[in-house]
Amino acid sequence: MIKNTKINYDRPASGQIFEYLRDAIVSMELRPGQMIAETSLAEQFGVSRTPVREALIKLSNIGFVEVLPQRGTYVTKFSTQKILEARFIREALEVAVAADLASNVTEELVEACQAIIEAQSKAADEDDSITFQKLDDEFHQMLAQHTQYARVGSLIEAEKAHMDRVRNLSLQEAGQFKRVLAQHKAIVKAIKAGDANKAQEAMSTHMREVYKILTVIPAEHPEYFID
């Protein structure tokens, strides 16, 4: 059973169920390898199995669940290879984004990023890792949306699914909130200064944080990994 399953019938049920399940998976309320039963979810949400099935298909498409024929639907386990591949692709994109913005900086962008960082600081003070991570995503989407390239944000979004859960798990590690905030501030500082090289360096450092995570998490939670 997952928390908070109240459906607003003025909106499509499948989209809401997708959001609830995605947040439950990212927050580790639904654990890697855990089975998800369509019938139980339909009863919990008070809907037919159709919107549940639609939500699960969308989750499967982003790599959060896998459907095993005649066995059921399960939350996917972590894949170190896929996490590293996603990080590699994201770093290539986001380092380019940082350099582009440093060469075309606007006050609007800087103010928007600083507002997100302030909200993240508040989430950190409240030890709210889910809100902190959502704001992290908002920070990176804000940067992407201020480039000249419309598809960059969606490409970054498509690659980050394999990193989302392990990122949230890492936020439980001591000092992680502080490190991420410091890295975001360094990125914005370099962009504001118009220094493309420092912006690239700051973003690369931020993207490579996953290497530190992968030296700790697999040893502490081997049951969450498939490799």
Radius of gyration of the chain (CA): 19
Q: What is the topology classification, in CATH, of domain 13-75?
A: Arc Repressor Mutant, subunit A (1.10.10)
pLDDT, tens digit (0-9, with 9 covering 90-100), for 196-208: 999 999 999 999 8
Q: Assess whether the region 13-75 and the region 80-221 belong to the same CATH fold.
A: no
What tens digit of pLDDT does each residue of 110-142 get? 999 999 999 999 999 998 888 998 899 999 999
Residue ranges covered by each domain of the chain: 13-75, 80-221
How far apart (Å, rounded) are the C-alpha atoms in residues 91 and 149? 16
The contacts of residue 74 (CB under 8 Å, 6+ apart) are 33, 34, 35, 36, 65, 66, 68
pLDDT in tens, 50-89: 999 999 999 999 889 998 888 899 999 998 888 889 889 9
Helix H or strand E segment including 65: strand 65-68
Res 164: pLDDT: 77
Average pLDDT over all residues of the chain? 90
172 — pLDDT class (breaks 50, 70, 90): low
The C-alpha angle with vertex 127 and arms to 85 and 189, in degrees rounded to 5, equals: 60
CATH topology of domain 80-221: Four Helix Bundle (Hemerythrin (Met), subunit A) (1.20.120)
Spatial distance between the Cα atoms of 174 and 31, rounded to a whole number of angstroms: 21
**Does residue 5 surpass a pLDDT of 80?**
no
The answer to whether the CB of 197 falls within 8 A of the CB of 100 is no
